[in-house]
Amino acid sequence: MKLEDLDPVMKRRRAGGLDYSYDRFRADPAMASLQWPDDVLEQFLYDHGDNTPFVTDYGSIDLHDLTWRLETIPAVDFHGMPTGASDTGCIEEYAENPVHWVKVRPQEIGRHWEEHGTWLRPPLLIDRRLLAPSGNGLQVLEGRTRVGVLRGRLREGLHVALHHQAWVGRASETLPAT
């Protein structure tokens, strides 16, 4: 199943407006069949499953072949980590003014950055081999603002943890040993 196969679910979601809650979305048989963590399902498909540039960037991925795990990633690994072609340059834009991008969020996000040096909600990263066989490393799927804030805080010498939690999607056969 690919993103374009979710078009009927996305149409129902759009038609339902605010009444089509996340709980209703995740209960849909197509969504339930993925068996993804709620945080991933919400950030990836509920929030962006019908966003045209997002579908263009990630539409070739077989969603059933994607396995998600919460991993700990060193802060330095986020430096230079790309995002999809439709959002090229946006992480760098967020990094230019990390204080602003935290201030326009709910206060608990700013407090979390100050106290823990990391984001409140783990972003989504994807193994680049899912996008191109010759790809390597990870790519920011969702959480471009969070990663930009991290880069900007590092550049400005603000408090940043050495490691950060992130949901990482990989093809089932390429999962690292646990």
3-class state of residue 135 by DSSP: coil
pLDDT tens, position by position, 89-140: 999 999 999 999 999 999 999 999 999 999 999 999 999 999 988 889 999 9
pLDDT tens, position by position, 3-56: 888 888 888 877 877 677 888 888 888 899 999 999 999 999 998 888 888 889
Q: Tell me, what's the pLDDT at 154? A: 96
Decide if pLDDT at 152 tops 70.
Answer: yes
Contact 43, 25 (CB under 8 A): no
Q: Tell me, what's the pLDDT at 77? A: 97
* Residue whose token pair is 């969702």: 142
3-class state of residue 71 by DSSP: strand
Please state the length of the chain. 178
Decide if pLDDT at 156 tops 90.
Answer: yes
> Position 132: which residue type?
A
Q: Tell me, what's the pLDDT at 20? A: 75
Contact 138, 81 (CB under 8 A): yes
Residue 20 burial (C-beta neighbours within 10 Å; 0-12, 13-18, 19+): middle
Calpha distance 124→16 (Å, rounded): 26
Contact 118, 160 (CB under 8 A): yes
Q: Tell me, what's the pLDDT at 25? A: 86
Decide if pLDDT at 162 tops 80.
Answer: yes
